[in-house]
Amino acid sequence: MNLTLALPSLNFNTESPLPNLNLPYLNKMLRFGTFQAIPSKPSEFHGKLLWNGSLLDHAKKTLGIPVGKPAIFASPVWQQMGMHHMDILSGHDIQIRQDEAEAFCNGLNIFLQDDGWFFYPLRPDLWLATLPAEPDWQVAPILDVLGQLDGTARAEGHDARQWLQKQTEIQMWLYTHALNNERSVNGMPAVNGIWLWQGINGSQKGTALLGSSSPWAQFYPANIVDAPYDFKAWQDIITEMETDVSDGLLFLDELTTPGYTADAWAYKDILESWEQRWFEPLWQSLRQGRLKKLHIMTDGVQGGCLTIKAKASRAFWKSKKVFTGQLSV
């Protein structure tokens, strides 16, 4: 079996110093693997692995909206202004519930009814808005603006002012919303902003069995199961499949929120947990030849793919390597 382990935000690209990482088996993979640099934005990385074609068209089909109807995505967010940047987290990061999403969308439909905007909660963290006409602006997808923004991410195009105006109007409307008061009382971040964007295309045409709990995997074109807890659980799933599984894809996104928040200790905890649950058993499976080939992929400016072949450890002359927050050691 060939396996791809997709780990968005594996590279820790912040100024926060990392504590020492105890990852002996990941280090073995770095030593005996071959790295290919493939820089990619988070949206490109997700689209390449999780869906095929237009994400907006998939959303319209799910919601029963005609393909030709002008529409955009609206991503609810928590945002906070700093001295020289803005922190932004997605609705998934701040755990928006489905009932909250429906209530927000119903309120927005009343608030913007004179403008002809209508909102649909595709899922709690991703809404779709239909418009009277196709807007003439272009802006980065939500996946590419999470974390810390330097203020340069904004719409361009003839209708860019409309984009900014609507973002501002909705932000003001959200400021006094009763649901946000309720979230604050319960110790939850407020939904105090929205990111309007136009969708992205994906290029996943494969048939590999996907194991993932990412909300972005909802339009995966082949078989999908929830992300297994560890490699043994993954093997059990494959054993129970009615057909042979020659290729597998695991998309584990637990590192994204620590990456957005520059939480070095959460990053360390997750990686060291993966060391026991994934890296060690994967390494043993490679050594024994039960796993033919493993690809470890990540995104970002220094993103790429580390490929480790079965019994690669026989190349004993290769120098030792230590993972310090970058796959391209």
Task: Please provide the DSSP assignment of 291-316 as one string.
Answer: S-EEEEEE-BTT-EEEEEETTGGG-T
Q: Which of 219, 213, 215 is nearest to 233 (CA)?
A: 213
- Judge whether 307 and 286 are in contact, CB under 8 Å: no
The residues near 32 (Cβ < 8 Å, ≥ 6 apart) are 308, 312, 313, 315, 318
The residues near 113 (Cβ < 8 Å, ≥ 6 apart) are none
CA distance 149 to 144: 10
Give CA torsion, residues 194, 185, 104, 142, to 10 deg.
Answer: 20
Domains of the chain by residue range: 2-51+204-314, 54-197
- Whole-number pLDDT of residue 177: 94
Give CA torsion, residues 124, 219, 244, 248, to 10 deg.
Answer: -70
Residue with tokens 């020492």: 20
User: What is the Cα Rg of the chain in Å?
Assistant: 21
- Judge whether 329 and 321 are in contact, CB under 8 Å: yes
CA distance 295 to 16: 28
- Judge whether 164 and 155 are in contact, CB under 8 Å: yes
Q: Which of 313, 300, 309, 318 is nearest to 9 (CA)?
A: 300
- Whole-number pLDDT of residue 137: 95
Write down the H helix ranges in the chain. Answer: 24-32, 42-50, 55-63, 98-111, 160-175, 178-185, 231-240, 256-261, 264-274, 280-287
| DSSP per residue, 70-84 | -EEEEEEEEEEE-SS
Query: Which residues does residue 148 pair with via DSSP β-bridges, in sequence order?
Result: 87
- Whole-number pLDDT of residue 14: 77
CA distance 37 to 314: 24
- Whole-number pLDDT of residue 328: 87
CA distance 38 to 308: 16
Residue with tokens 């990619």: 40
- Whole-number pLDDT of residue 311: 86
Strands 2-6, 293-298: pairing is parallel
| Token representation of residue 47 | 């689209």
pLDDT in tens, the chain (329 residues): 899 999 999 999 877 789 999 999 999 999 999 999 999 999 999 999 999 999 999 999 999 999 999 999 999 999 987 666 789 999 999 999 999 999 999 999 999 999 999 999 999 999 999 999 999 999 999 999 999 776 667 899 999 999 999 999 999 999 999 999 999 999 999 999 999 999 999 999 999 999 999 999 999 999 999 999 999 999 999 999 877 788 999 999 999 999 999 999 999 999 999 999 999 999 999 999 999 999 999 999 999 999 999 988 787 888 999 999 999 87
Question: How many angstroms separate the most distant Cα atoms in the chain?
Answer: 71
Domain spanning 2-51+204-314, CATH architecture: 3-Layer(aba) Sandwich (3.40)
| Token representation of residue 200 | 């992205």
- Whole-number pLDDT of residue 148: 74
Strands 71-81, 126-130: pairing is antiparallel
